[in-house]
Amino acid sequence: MLALRHFLSLALQTLRRNQIQAVLAMLGVTVGVGALVTSIALSRGAQQAINEQLMAVGANMIVVTSGNYQVERSQDAGAVEADHGSIEPSDSITPFLVRIPDSQQLGQSQNPRFLTADWPLSDAFSSNARTSMQSPRFIKAHYEDDPNAQHDHPTAAERLGDTMAGLGAAATLSVDDAQAILNQLDGVQYVASGVHENARVSIPAAGGRSWFTRLHGTEPDLPQIRRGWVFPHGRFFTQDHYRNTEQVIVLGKVVADRLFGADTNPVGETVELWNQPFEIVGVVGSSSWAAQPAAGDDQFDAIYVPLSTVHELLNLSMLNTITVTTRSAGETTAVAEQITAMLRQRHGISEQMPDDFIVRTQAEQVLGNGLPPQVARVVSGNMSTVDNITIEQISHSLERANATMMALLAGVAAVSLLVGGIGVANLLLLSVTQRTREVGLRMAMGARARDIASQFLIEAVILCLIGGLIGAAAGYLVSGSLEGLLQWSTSVSIVSMVVAIVVAAILGVLSGVYPAHKASQLDPIGALHHE
């Protein structure tokens, strides 16, 4: 188009000559394109936020726990009795038994998803299991393992005290196991081994103010696994701290708030643990709405100490847990299976014997929270089907809400674009009338109908493009300020801005078609003598 510059200056003349109409017409296009860009930015932002939150919650996390109180009994309840004779149903120690339907039944009937547990189930063996032709499966667990259960006798922790309880006989995982998982399995991103204790931290300086909480002896890589973590004060302990078994401690937000008050920076202060001084190097909080610090939770009502220090002080060598993240959330199930196979081999467990550890994905743990323990166990016993559904359901419901908002904004965009298009068409019709003589002159000079038509089409497109460019810039700014002022997640994509500008150009063509056709069909003589 060699004459483009000429037509560009003509379009700008039209703009200048009919400023109010041009501004109004372009305003519609601007608002439309701006709303389009903003709605795409908001939608993408929400999508990213959802993904980040799911990752922060730990959708890609696997936790391997020492010991296994959930021994599955298959087919015949009596066999369990033979294999694990140590757990006898009796009046004093009642094993933890939950009846669950087999998988076939689970697949066919939607409701109830699992049967209500009867617990204690003293006559479970005699009546239910033996007579049932459905061959129910049983999960058996040590009753002291149930955190919500009331006991009429002192538990191990109570009998032995915090410092003496140690890891117990069930500590089956070793530091070497953790190394093997990291080094030998595909799809593994980070591995952090851990020892978990209940402990009391106190501030000697403040007259011994103390807080009873959960202690995690762990590795410096843990923040890589806990993606939702933020450090309002200080930072996590380092490889140097870890290597030198230093007595440093990271407080969970809840612990820091209880001991020092909400707005105090406790980094550099000393707390006492196991009658030893520990220097505070950081406070850990959450960036995720899905996991806000609360008293009693496992992450923020907790303290973190280098595992090496814990091992040295308590003279221990084994682990309670190995926490693993996979490169993507979709790999967790496969990696979990590989971990199980590897650990069984490393621990020399024969085919008939149950695992001496438990491999669980984070989804199972999340699901277990807030459920009655027996139900939680049933759920986790059937996780292979449940975890995918649940994570999908969470994200689906979030996406549905997001889609509704997106549709609303897209509606605003569509209406604005329609109004803008009508405005541009109107402006051009006005311009055709004003410039009838000019059209006649151009025809006399040899302009063909299509030359005239393309002149007005170019004008319409230029007007809409100007509106569209302003709109795209406005959308960008609005998205930015929504993020800044309202903390909404937005993500402006270059593609969405390009698409919006292309939409504006198409709008220009559509709104220019009728005026352009009208101008091109003018009679040259009549047009020339038009006043």
Partner 1 sequence: MSNKVISLRDVTRVYQMGDNSVHALRGISLDIEAGEFVTITGASGSGKSTLMHILGCLDRVTEGTYELNGKDVSNLSREELANIRNKQIGFVFQGFNLLPRTTALENAEVPLLYSRPVVSVSERREKAMKALEAMNLSDRAEHHPSQLSGGQQQRVAIARALVNEPALILADEPTGNLDSKTGEEVMRILQELRESSGITIVLITHEADIAAYGTRIISIRDGLITDDVPNTPIGRSSPDTSTPIKQAATAN
Is the Cβ of residue 9 or residue 350 nearer to partner 1 in the bound state?
Answer: 9
The angle at the Cα of 217, spanning 59 to 242, to the nearest 5 degrees, equals 105
- What are 420's two structure tokens? 């803008």
Which residue(s) pair with 324 in the sheet?
Answer: 62, 191
Is the Cβ of residue 5 or residue 153 nearer to partner 1 in the bound state?
Answer: 5
CB of 8 to partner 1, least distance (A): 12
User: In terms of C-beta density within 10 A (0-12 exposed, 13-18 middle, 19 or more buried), how is residue 150 classed?
Assistant: exposed
Which spans of this chain sit near partner 1 (rule: CB under 8 A)? 2-3, 5-6, 9, 13, 16, 437-438, 441-449, 451, 524-525, 528
Is the Cβ of residue 317 or residue 434 nearer to partner 1 in the bound state?
Answer: 434
Is the Cβ of residue 6 or residue 130 nearer to partner 1 in the bound state?
Answer: 6
CB of 428 to partner 1, least distance (A): 18
Is the Cβ of residue 15 or residue 363 nearer to partner 1 in the bound state?
Answer: 15
- C-alpha to C-alpha distance for 469 and 2, rounded to whole angstroms: 24
User: Helical H runs in 356-382?
Assistant: 362-368, 373-381
Q: Which amino acid is at 36?
A: L
CB of 501 to partner 1, least distance (A): 27
CB of 29 to partner 1, least distance (A): 24
The beta strands (E) that lie in 129-228 are given as: 137-141, 173-174, 188-203, 209-218
Is the Cβ of residue 188 or residue 527 nearer to partner 1 in the bound state?
Answer: 527
Neighbours of 468 (CB within 10 A): 31
Which residue(s) pair with 329 in the sheet?
Answer: none
CB of 47 to partner 1, least distance (A): 48
Among the listed residues 302, 295, 244, 293, the one whose alpha carbon sits nearest the alpha carbon of residue 273: 302
Neighbours of 503 (CB within 10 A): 19
Q: Which amino acid is at 497?
A: M
Helix (H) or strand (E) holding 63: strand 61-66
Is the Cβ of residue 428 or residue 472 nearer to partner 1 in the bound state?
Answer: 428
Is the Cβ of residue 262 or residue 445 nearer to partner 1 in the bound state?
Answer: 445
CB of 426 to partner 1, least distance (A): 22
Exposure string (b/e) for 338-370, b if CB count within 10 Å is 16 or more?
Answer: bbeeebbeeeeeeeeeebbbbbbbbbbbbbbee
Is the Cβ of residue 294 or residue 444 nearer to partner 1 in the bound state?
Answer: 444
Is the Cβ of residue 130 or residue 448 nearer to partner 1 in the bound state?
Answer: 448
CB of 440 to partner 1, least distance (A): 8
Is the Cβ of residue 13 or residue 328 nearer to partner 1 in the bound state?
Answer: 13
- C-alpha to C-alpha distance for 475 and 37, rounded to whole angstroms: 5
Question: Parallel, antiparallel, or unpaired: how do β-strands 321-326 and 188-203 relate?
Answer: antiparallel
CB of 425 to partner 1, least distance (A): 23
CB of 526 to partner 1, least distance (A): 10
CB of 25 to partner 1, least distance (A): 20
User: In terms of C-beta density within 10 A (0-12 exposed, 13-18 middle, 19 or more buried), how is residue 53 classed?
Assistant: buried
CB of 2 to partner 1, least distance (A): 6
CA-to-CA dists, residue 440 to 12, 431, 433, 444, angstroms: 20, 14, 11, 6
- C-alpha to C-alpha distance for 191 and 224, rounded to whole angstroms: 9
Is the Cβ of residue 387 or residue 438 nearer to partner 1 in the bound state?
Answer: 438
Which residues have a Cβ under 8 Å from the Cβ of 530 and sit 6 or more positions away?
Answer: 436, 437, 440
Contact 283, 264 (CB under 8 A): no
CB of 26 to partner 1, least distance (A): 20
Question: Parallel, antiparallel, or unpaired: how do β-strands 61-66 and 321-326 relate?
Answer: antiparallel
